Amino acid sequence: MAERTVRAQTRLGGLLVSEEAVYGLILVAGMIIVGSENSDEAWDTMLTVLVTVLVFFAAHVYAGTLSRLADGRSSTIPRSLWGAARHSVGLLVVAVPPLAVLMLGATGIVEPETAVWFALGITALLLIIDGWLMAAAHSASFWTRVLGAAISGAFGIVLILLKVLIHH
């Protein structure tokens, strides 16, 4: 049982600490900004983010499938498709927390504008954590980890600043 838990944590960590996760978080933050500025309806913002993430995931899987077939990493379409989907799933996983917050705004549990800002904050925080963990996977140096967190987090912070500029 303990081995299964460790394996599940390792798998989840691998999904969260990946280029797809960073890309997904930046995509989500950008779409939160676009969605919230193009509509006053919280449902529209949430659906904009959700549909965009699903389309980018599908495109990523499609490109990965073709790439695996072309370079010989996979010999069949199903294997190639499965490998590409497994590789890309981090893009979906990281979208869950901000989408959950946006859902709270869409259902009226939280003020929609508050949900948007909170979802952006969660996205930036996840980018910081991701940067730290990715640097930690390659270096024991505290300062390397701080630099990884700072660089990764800067993407989220720049997007939040963009939201502030657009909003006011």
For residues 61 and 84, give the distance between their C-alpha atoms in angstroms, rounded to a whole number: 5
Q: Tens digits of per-residue pLDDT, 12-44?
A: 556 677 889 999 999 999 999 988 888 778 899
pTM: 0.85
Domain, as residue range, for 70: 20-167
Say how many domains are in the chain. Answer: 1
Phi, psi angles (nearest 5°) of residue 18: -155, 165
Residue 149 falls within a domain, yes or no? Answer: yes
Mean of pLDDT values over 130-134 = 91
Residue 13 domain-assigned (yes or no): no
In a domain, 2, yes or no: no
Per residue in 45-91, pLDDT (tens digit) is 999 999 999 999 999 999 999 999 999 888 899 999 999 999 899 99
Q: How many CB atoms lie within 10 A of CB 120?
A: 24
